[in-house]
Amino acid sequence: MIYTTIGMINTAQPFTGIGNYAFSLFEAIKDQVDIDHVFFDTREFTLRELTKSKDIAAARKIPFVDNNPFFYYRMQGHIPKYDIYHLTNQNISFFKVTSKIITCHDIIHEMYPASKIHLMMGKLMYKGLKDADHIITDSDATASDLQRKYAIPKENMTTIYLGIDPELFRPHGDVTSIWSKYGLEKDKEYILHISSEQPRKNVEGIIKAFYRLKKQSGRKDLVLLKAGEPQYAHDRRNIKSLITSLDLEKDVRFLGRVPNEDLAILYCIAKMFVFPSFYEGFGLPVLEAMACGCPVITSNVSSLPEVAGDACITVDPNDHQRMASYMLQLLQDDVLRSSLIQKGICRAAQFSWERCAKQTAQVYTHVLETL
């Protein structure tokens, strides 16, 4: 047991990937260390200490100006005093606290900026990475990015893989609730994808591969399900324009934001999960799909091979024809499907929030010893 006060500083809602990390890690680690969960609630414009269920401070929203980074900047002075601060994502590395550990999930604003403003914001938000006492990364790929872009020494970083909730993400026998809720037909076969539709997610590549699959197989019962809301409206417009140009309006369905309880069942009814991103800090949906017994096709770049191991089909995300061929193979080859399902379940079992918490607590101890 570590008898030092630690503040976990989180700015992300629990339904987001980064928020899921912070909330799940806190639940797994709170019995191991003396730690508080300080939450910047961007919905209510309050700073809350969730451990003791109390509000620390509140701010008035300034229309057209108070975007998330500005809100963080305004409120950071209200963060309580701790011996160590664990900033749970790289976007708040600029916080002026000491001593600080930062979890860097990715550096998307540097690697795949949506605009020049996006790139400038990234440089502002990431500027504190070099000042961290230690950095936790979700993958070796992200650690390599930090070495290359920020010249951060390897010894100042520790890779700690994320986990999943095994009670939720598992093979489900009863899937009856999902059909009518999302208007799905039992005589169709579904290919699933979930993302925010940013270009790095390669949704256009999936659609182009799906189009080739439909042409090659001649099957009219195949449907591509797209879960998740777009981060930017223009990304959805571009994707829908491509769907229209390929005459796939009846074959691609947008489900919107899906609760995790429903997502787990969607993994179970899908014939496969396709996730060929160009860049990911970790790729948690790949892990979730494997845990639910859903065969996965993912990218052979960035962090995704680390998550996939030998339990997924990996492919060049630019090779739409090869992607389509793998999809067809998964539809036709029951032996391959069965093999991937079993390998995936075993692979996913190696990732847990308990393991993540134990390794994170070890980083806290290491930092305390070096201060």
- Annotate 182-216 with DSSP letters as a single string: TT--TTSEEEEEE----GGG-HHHHHHHHHHHHHH
> Does residue 295 share a domain with residue 272?
yes
> Does residue 364 share a domain with residue 326?
no
pLDDT recorded at residue 61: 75
304 contact partners, CB below 8 Å, separation of at least 6: 275, 277, 280, 283, 286, 298, 314
pLDDT recorded at residue 60: 79
In a domain, 260, yes or no: yes
Bridge partners of residue 314, in order along the sequence: 298
In a domain, 170, yes or no: no
In a domain, 38, yes or no: yes
At residue 21, the 3 state secondary structure works out as helix
Number of domains in the chain: 2
Element (H, E) at 148: helix 140-150
Strand pairing report for 189-194 and 46-49: unpaired
> Does residue 100 share a domain with residue 189?
no
> Does residue 7 share a domain with residue 154?
yes
> Does residue 337 share a domain with residue 189?
yes
Estimate the crossing angle of helix 320-332 against helix 203-217, to 10 degrees.
Answer: 50
> Does residue 265 share a domain with residue 204?
yes
CA dist 20 and 103 (Å) reads 13
Percent of the chain scoring above 90 in pLDDT: 85
> Does residue 34 share a domain with residue 86?
yes
> Does residue 75 share a domain with residue 57?
yes
> Does residue 189 share a domain with residue 122?
no
In a domain, 171, yes or no: no
pLDDT recorded at residue 26: 97
In a domain, 133, yes or no: yes
pLDDT recorded at residue 66: 64
- Dump pLDDT digits (tens) for 114-131: 788 888 888 888 999 999
Output the domain CATH number for residue 227: 3.40.50.2000
Sign, CA dihedral 27-307-317-211, equals negative
pLDDT recorded at residue 64: 66
| Cα Rg, the chain, nearest whole Å | 21
CA dist 210 and 325 (Å) reads 10
> Does residue 109 share a domain with residue 18?
yes
At residue 49, the 3 state secondary structure works out as strand
Question: For 36, how many CA atoms within 13 A lie in the half-sphere containing its CB?
Answer: 23
In a domain, 168, yes or no: no
- Distances 17 to 174, 282, 307, 325 between C-alpha atoms, Å: 26, 10, 16, 30
In a domain, 98, yes or no: yes
CA dist 352 and 265 (Å) reads 20
Cis peptide before 99 (omega within 30 of 0): yes
CA dist 295 and 310 (Å) reads 12
Structural domain span for residue 95:
2-163+352-370
CB atoms within 10 A of CB 77: 10
pTM: 0.93
> Does residue 193 share a domain with residue 327?
yes
pLDDT recorded at residue 1: 43
In a domain, 254, yes or no: yes
| Regions of the chain where pLDDT drops below 70 | 1-3, 64-67
> Does residue 241 share a domain with residue 314?
yes
